[in-house]
Structure 1
Amino acid sequence: MKTLGKKIRLLRHQKGWSQEDVAKRLDISIPAFSKIETGITDINLSRLEQIATLFEMSVVQLLTFNDSEQQEKYVSELEILTKKLQEREAEVIGLQKKIIDLFEEIRRTKISV
């Protein structure tokens, strides 16, 4: 449940809400909400539905929130690394072309001498 608490904390921060704001909206004490965020308190289904509604999402969206963001982060990192790899491959091809050109120049020089 700690990961769920982290997701709830992240959502709260994205909304710019304090723990007090959320606790009031859920009609619970600040310490009770803090225990939800830290994973000390397990959340029952009705509280989970209440929290999901507060953040304007379904229970499934709440439970999977940030999992897709994490995947998007990995995809983004993968795209960056793929681009860097393509740049390096182009650099290697350019260097190979220079080596071939230099080899041809040396060969021509030997033939003309």
Structure 2
Amino acid sequence: MKSLGKKIRLLRHQNGWSQEDVAKKLDISIPAFSKIETGITDINLSRLQQIAKLFDLSVVQLLNFNDADEQKKYNSDLELANKKLQERNNEVIELQKKVIELYEELRKTYKHNS
């Protein structure tokens, strides 16, 4: 069951949900959900169906969920997000340089006119 718990945790992370979020959606306590993710608690069919539905999967899809493929997709998405973040960071740096240049021009003009 630990493998299934890892799959559930990965799906939860991909959805940006906390353990509390999922526990509320399943109408169980946070510790009870934590035990599902860690594999301490066996999941009955009813709970398995409830979890699959929560992630918009069939029970078969949930059980066959491939961590490696999903992790590759997650890493690819993360890499793309990091690239976009770096581009935006570079844009901010360029804008900061322009602000400094304009400030210096204004300062020189002010000194010249004083």
Band of TM-score, shorter chain: 0.5 to 0.7
Checking the alignment, whether the CA contact within 8 Å between 2:12 and 2:18 is kept in structure 1 is yes
Partners of 1:10 and 1:67 in 2: how far apart?
8
Partners of 1:33 and 1:45 in 2: how far apart?
15
Partners of 1:48 and 1:39 in 2: how far apart?
13
2:36 aligned with 1:36? yes
Gap runs ≥5 in structure 1: 74-113
TM-superposed deviation, 1:68? 7.0
Name the counterpart of 1:27: 27
Deviations 1:46-77 (A, max 9, x none): 0000000000000000000015727x96xxxx
Name which one, 1 or 2, has greater alpha-carbon Rg. Answer: 1
2:52 aligned with 1:52? yes
Letter in 1 for 2:27: D
What is the root-mean-square deviation of aligned Cα atoms in Å? 1.8
The 5 Å alignment of 1:1-113 reads 1-66=1-66, 69=69
TM-score for the superposition, normalised by structure 1: 0.60
TM-score for the superposition, normalised by structure 2: 0.60
Aligned length: 72
Partners of 1:54 and 1:10 in 2: how far apart?
13
Gap runs ≥5 in structure 2: 73-114
